[in-house]
Amino acid sequence: MVQSDVLAGMALSCELAVGTAEEEAEDDAPARGAALEAFGESEETRALLGRLRAVHGERRAREVAEERFRVIMDKYQEQPHLLDPHLEWMMNLLLDIVQDRTSPGALVHLAFKFLYIITKVRGYKIFLRLFPHEVADVQPVLDMISDQNPTDHETWETRYMLLLWLSMTCLIPFDLSRLDGNLGTQAGQAQMPIMDRILQIAESYLLVSDKARDAAAVLVSKFITRPDVKQRKMAGFLDWSLSTLARASFHTIDGVIAMDGTLQALAQIFKHGKREDCLPYATVVLQCLDSCRLPESNQTLLRKLGVKLVQRLGLTFLKPKVAAWRYQRGSRSLAANLQLCTPAQSEQNLPVATSDGDEDYDIPEGVESVIEQLLGGLKDRDTVVRWSAAKGIGRMAGRLPRELADDVVGSVLDCLSFQETDKAWHGGCLALAELGRRGLLLPSRLPEVVAVILRAVTYEEKRGACSVGANVRDAACYVCWAFARAYDPQELAPFVAAIASALVIASVFDRNVNCRRAASAAFQENVGRQGTFPHGIDIVTTADYFAVGNTANCFLTISVSIAGFPEYTQPMIDHLVAMKVIHWDGAIRELSAKALHRLAPQAPEYFATHVLPALLLMTLSPDLHTRHGAILACAEVTYALYKLAAQRDRPVTDYLDEKMVQGLRQIHQQLSDRHLYRGLGGELMRQSVCVLIENLSLSRMPFKGDPVIDGWQWLIDDTLRSLHLVSSRSRQQIKDTAVSALAAVCSEYYQKEPRETSPAIQEVLIPRYLVELQSPEEMVRCGFASALGALPGFLLRGRLRQVLDGLSAVTRTLKDVAFAEARRDSLRAIARICQTVGVKAEAVPDEALCRQNVAQVYTTLLGCMGDYTTDSRGDVGAWVREAAMTSLMDLTLLLARTQPALIEAHVCEQVMCCVAQQASEKIDRFRAHAAHVFLTLLHFDSSPVPHVPHRGELEALLPRSVVATVNWNAPSQAFPRITQLLGLPTYRYHVLLGLAVSVGGLTESTVRHSTQSLFEYMKGIQQDPQALGSFSGTLLQVFEDNLLNDRVSVSLLKMLDQMLANGCFDIFTREENHPFCVKLLALCKEEIKKSKDIQKLRSSIAVLCGMVQFCGDVRRKVLLQLMLLLCHPFPVIRKATASQVYEMVLTYSGVLSADVLDEVLTVLSDTAWDAELPVVRGQRNRLCDLLGVPRPQLVPKPGAH
């Protein structure tokens, strides 16, 4: 087992990694998942550092170098040890710059910035050791830090690194007073001793607001603890620190900064100083700390530093020693643990009871206060404070006598009671893990500890609409992980079954992915370290770190695999019933119900005798979530038991006694009597009972003829009738469950004989549903349309024509009613009905799909292919078109398999052309769906669809081998293939209609790729006048058919503009008054006549300017039209026209003679076209004269005098 895999699974907060190497029991190996092997940018870094002198003066080059260095270093954030062989030469290169007296200040600051970047990645503790710390370095470093400006926010890295360097020079083994031997006077003033200068600098930087404060604390810890300094300065510094704390208030920013620096310094001093030096001051510092009332502060960092200082004071009170009574495991070899030890070997690892010579030494008074504060820190609201307190508890307990340490353990266990908050539970778990890791939790305490840890593994408290406790469960998994490393297998043997089950349950059923991964890692650690977990290797393989990442996979797949081991089956089932079926998250309740369904085959008798009765009791609960989950679980468990019984050709009542059958039957009536289908919880109750109805019907419960069926039918109908009152987020789910329930009820309870129905049911149900199709509420129409589509064939027989007519009426678009979703669901219902009743060519229209009604169905479906309804949500008609395409595909394939003769040639042509149009339109998702439908119809294997136009050419253009790899969502891949259909006369019109919308659209990628594909096709037919003529005729036909249809015409004008600008019709320009240009001009004039659409007018101006390249009388008419637009009532159109005409005159040189060209350009450019119309009209008329175009005459309005 690789330790890194375990650590990767632990999802504890990053604070778990805090702490020095000497405090850790075992060093953590670096992660090896995507590990780097060495510092690969060594040469680049060397060159980069060597160029600093050259680039520091230029801001851009300096910033580029700095950013590149950051990028290189950041790669090694997770594996900083790879930098170790290179740290020395990097530091030397940078310190050469710093120590060079000729280096400019900006270069020095840049060098220190690079040093800080390295320190940030590797950590100052490692990097600190490399600083030069000879006697000769003290004075220069001290001078440099003295010259810095503490308020310059641009150079804080310099001050931070200099303070760290100064802290390293403080370690020289000579009395600092020796360095003052040459003190003299300068300008009549005595120089300050070095010791005083360092202390003054340290004190001043402890109060700054930047990161130099942290370095100052490090400096103080190394400086004050020197033998020569502690005698002279320690008391004074502590006095200064305590007075600073006393004056500061955590309610102000300045106070917080001062307290932060001072607390850091004190914590470092009491950590690194000798006990005998610090002990005289510990009591006073503790009293001052108590008076600061830090636990009341809302500053997390201050509370954390307070806890750190408190624990250091506590450790100062107690003698440093290793408790003789602590538990020592002995061998920690994984290989040895994986081999089951013999009893003789196991005995060697038992802790030896030794007498503690210091058991009865006096405990200082301050220790009790320290312990009390640390226990309070375990309940702090921030994780970082709780973790620091937990480590403090572990350190303190290691120096206490056995009895007192046991009292501490008891106090920690008190944090894990249900009277405490989730914060206390989390802190308690962290403390227990720390105690166990250090061997301070004796085996005698394990029964009590394991009991609370097992509760913590599933701890969850509901708060409003969510819950708390994920951090508690995560920490509980950490405890289990720590225990695996701390105890011998025989010590944990009595608890193996309980711990293994709890960890398996957490790794599979926890809602939080981090907790699942933490539990998986803890289980893996126990398998490797203990070697006693049942089926450990098999489960570790199944539920590894990555497998438990997906919630649905955990509940529905991994759980079934693990439940195959009998040790885990019942605990998993019990946990689902007790905790997950009633969970606050609806998705978890639904997954739990489905998981119970899948687990039922593992223990059918247990489900029938224990699980189902418990679930039936929970269906009466006053809690909404409990009722909802219990009803879903009852439905799934019953159906699972039915399937087990059916395998033996037995009814479900073999598993269920009469009491349970009646309990299931009464669920609906009990909810109805208590009016629980109403109000806020009504949605959940309706959805769950519909699922129950469906599953009980599928389970063939003996309810035929029972009044409960009428109750179920009422609930289904009322739910569908009330869909518009349901929240939008759950509307679709409730509709689907109600429709599924209806289909199951009808199939099981409304069938007298096989394939025969009760006439009374048919006469009541279908007319009632058809009436609801005319409801003024869209969602009601959706619900009952889907319900009609779900009816079984025996109910539709004899009423088919009536049902199809009703659904067809819903699909028709009305001017005052949008109802796109109702049309969509009606189309789906029609297709489903066709699949249900089947095809019989010579049958009557009321019985099946036949020769007489297939044309009507196709007409309905094809009519919806042109639905382009829009509302505030956008193109909602796309939903209808998508449903129509799917329904056309299903119907056509059904006919192709059964009665291909019923597919008429003109109908198949319409279907293929309409789908091809959708495959060339602008919305990626619907274009991809259309392509899928088109290719399915073309390449259908079972029985080829007859009468597909140009089948041979299509199969050559779109071969099966190529289209399978095409991503039709991507415009770059779709349009080059779709535009090839322009060469097929049958498809040209519809593909061109779709392309017009795409080429003239708004989405940049769609416009670019569709335009490129169209131009590629046009390039291929430039030398074929017949093909070009046919194409241009189709293009004009598309324009004519969509006149004044802004959805198409505006996009078509944009496409025409691009085609004219790219010379697609150059061959026509050689012929005077070519019919294409004449017809195009007439259509453009008709399109913009009386139009007030700015976008359309702009597009038409561009087209008219492009048409000037055509010669003959048509050019004069185009220019006249442009002159009219120069006096359009809208100033913006006048300006746009003038601008476009100016560009046109420059582009098409043959339009104007050279003698008038300059004057025309001058008029166009100098005239204020947004001025008053009379002024503009005079300039326009002047242009008409220059261009040889008759001046437009004002037409008097009717009735004007």
Contacts of 1060 (CB under 8 A, 6+ apart): 1103, 1106, 1107, 1109
DSSP 767-778: HHHHHHTT-SSH
3-class secondary structure, 1014: helix
What pLDDT digit, counting tens, does each position of 618-657 carry? 999 999 999 999 999 999 999 999 999 999 889 888 899 8
Phi/psi at 977 (5° precision) = -85, -40
| Contact by Cβ (8 Å): 892, 937 | yes
| Contact by Cβ (8 Å): 853, 846 | no
What pLDDT digit, counting tens, does each position of 745-770 carry? 999 998 877 666 677 788 889 999 99
Tokens 């019709």 map to which residue?
Answer: 1065
Q: Please tell me the predicted confidence (pLDDT) of residue 1177.
A: 87
Q: Please tell me the predicted confidence (pLDDT) of residue 624.
A: 93
Kindly state the tokens that stand for 1023. 């030398």
| CA atoms of 1187 and 1159, how far apart (whole Å) | 11
Contacts of 172 (CB under 8 A, 6+ apart): 133, 134, 135, 138
Q: What is the DSSP letter of 320?
A: P
- What is the average pLDDT across 263-291? 92
Q: Please tell me the predicted confidence (pLDDT) of residue 206.
A: 93
Q: Of 207, 208, 233, 211, give the one whose Cα is nearest residue 222.
A: 233
| CA atoms of 899 and 717, how far apart (whole Å) | 36
**Is the predicted pLDDT of residue 347 greater than 50, yes or no?**
no
Q: Please tell me the predicted confidence (pLDDT) of residue 1197.
A: 61
| CA atoms of 586 and 729, how far apart (whole Å) | 13
Max mean pLDDT among 334-338, 566-570, 962-966, 1142-1146 falls in 566-570
Q: Which CA distances in Å does 252 have to 256, 259, 605, 990?
A: 6, 11, 67, 73
**Is the predicted pLDDT of residue 344 greater than 60, yes or no?**
no
Tokens 């669920």 map to which residue?
Answer: 667
**Is the predicted pLDDT of residue 823 greater than 90, yes or no?**
yes
Q: Please tell me the predicted confidence (pLDDT) of residue 332.
A: 55
What pLDDT digit, counting tens, does each position of 1044-1079 carry? 888 999 999 999 999 988 888 888 888 888 888 999
Q: How confident is the model at residue 18 (pLDDT cuts 50, 70, 90)?
A: very low
Q: Please tell me the predicted confidence (pLDDT) of residue 13.
A: 35
Q: Please tell me the predicted confidence (pLDDT) of residue 813.
A: 76
What pLDDT digit, counting tens, does each position of 427-484 carry? 999 999 999 999 999 999 999 999 999 999 999 998 887 889 999 999 999 999 999 9
**Is the predicted pLDDT of residue 274 greater than 50, yes or no?**
yes
Beta-ladder partners of 839: 849
Asked whether the CA dihedral 321, 324, 329, 331 is positive or negative, the reply is positive
- What is the average pLDDT across 695-703? 93
Q: How confident is the model at residue 23 (pLDDT cuts 50, 70, 90)?
A: very low
What pLDDT digit, counting tens, does each position of 91-135 carry? 999 999 999 888 898 999 999 999 999 999 999 888 888 898 888
Considering the chain, what percentage of its residues have pLDDT values greater than 70?
92
Q: Please tell me the predicted confidence (pLDDT) of residue 1066.
A: 84
What pLDDT digit, counting tens, does each position of 1043-1053 carry? 988 899 999 99
| Contact by Cβ (8 Å): 407, 326 | no
Q: Which CA distances in Å does 683 have to 163, 586, 721, 724?
A: 65, 12, 13, 12
Residues found in the chain: 1201
Q: Which CA distances in Å does 791 have to 186, 499, 760, 810, 833?
A: 106, 51, 15, 18, 8
Q: Please tell me the predicted confidence (pLDDT) of residue 188.
A: 44
Asked whether the CA dihedral 294, 296, 300, 303 is positive or negative, the reply is positive
b/e map 448-461, b = 16+ CB within 10 Å? ebbebbbbbbbbbe
Q: Please tell me the predicted confidence (pLDDT) of residue 175.
A: 81
Kindly report the average pLDDT of the chain as a whole number: 88
Helix residue spans in 852-999 (DSSP H):
854-863, 877-898, 905-919, 924-938, 951-957, 960-963, 971-978, 985-999
| CA atoms of 1108 and 1092, how far apart (whole Å) | 24
Phi/psi at 817 (5° precision) = -130, 120
Q: How confident is the model at residue 183 (pLDDT cuts 50, 70, 90)?
A: low
Helix residue spans in 750-853 (DSSP H):
759-772, 778-790, 793-796, 800-811, 820-837
| Contact by Cβ (8 Å): 794, 756 | yes
Q: Please tell me the predicted confidence (pLDDT) of residue 1174.
A: 85
Contacts of 192 (CB under 8 A, 6+ apart): 200
Q: Which CA distances in Å does 1101 have to 709, 1155, 1193?
A: 69, 26, 21
- What is the average pLDDT across 54-66? 90
Contacts of 1130 (CB under 8 A, 6+ apart): 1092, 1094, 1097
The region of weakest confidence among 202-216, 583-597, 856-870, 1174-1188 is 1174-1188
Q: Please tell me the predicted confidence (pLDDT) of residue 1200.
A: 46
| Contact by Cβ (8 Å): 475, 387 | no
- What is the average pLDDT across 1162-1167? 88
Q: Of 341, 358, 245, 357, give the one whose Cα is nearest residue 302.
A: 245
Q: What is the DSSP letter of 226?
A: S
Q: Of 895, 807, 884, 796, give the one whose Cα is nearest residue 846.
A: 796
Q: Please tell me the predicted confidence (pLDDT) of residue 807.
A: 94
| Contact by Cβ (8 Å): 994, 979 | no
3-class secondary structure, 306: helix
What pLDDT digit, counting tens, does each position of 1093-1131 carry? 899 999 999 999 988 888 888 888 888 888 889 888 899
Contacts of 114 (CB under 8 A, 6+ apart): 49, 52, 66, 69, 94
Q: How confident is the model at residue 15 (pLDDT cuts 50, 70, 90)?
A: very low
| CA atoms of 503 and 500, how far apart (whole Å) | 5
Q: How confident is the model at residue 85 (pLDDT cuts 50, 70, 90)?
A: very high
What pLDDT digit, counting tens, does each position of 481-534 carry? 999 999 999 999 999 999 999 999 999 999 999 999 999 999 999 999 988 899
**Count of CB atoms situated within 10 Å of the CB of 467:** 17
Q: Please tell me the predicted confidence (pLDDT) of residue 345.
A: 40
3-class secondary structure, 654: helix
What pLDDT digit, counting tens, does each position of 975-993 carry? 999 999 999 999 999 999 9
Kindly state the tokens that stand for 1116. 């004069």
Which stretches does DSSP call E strand in 194-246?
none
**Is the predicted pLDDT of residue 353 greater than 60, yes or no?**
no
Q: Please tell me the predicted confidence (pLDDT) of residue 341.
A: 41
| Contact by Cβ (8 Å): 176, 226 | yes
Q: Please tell me the predicted confidence (pLDDT) of residue 1110.
A: 85
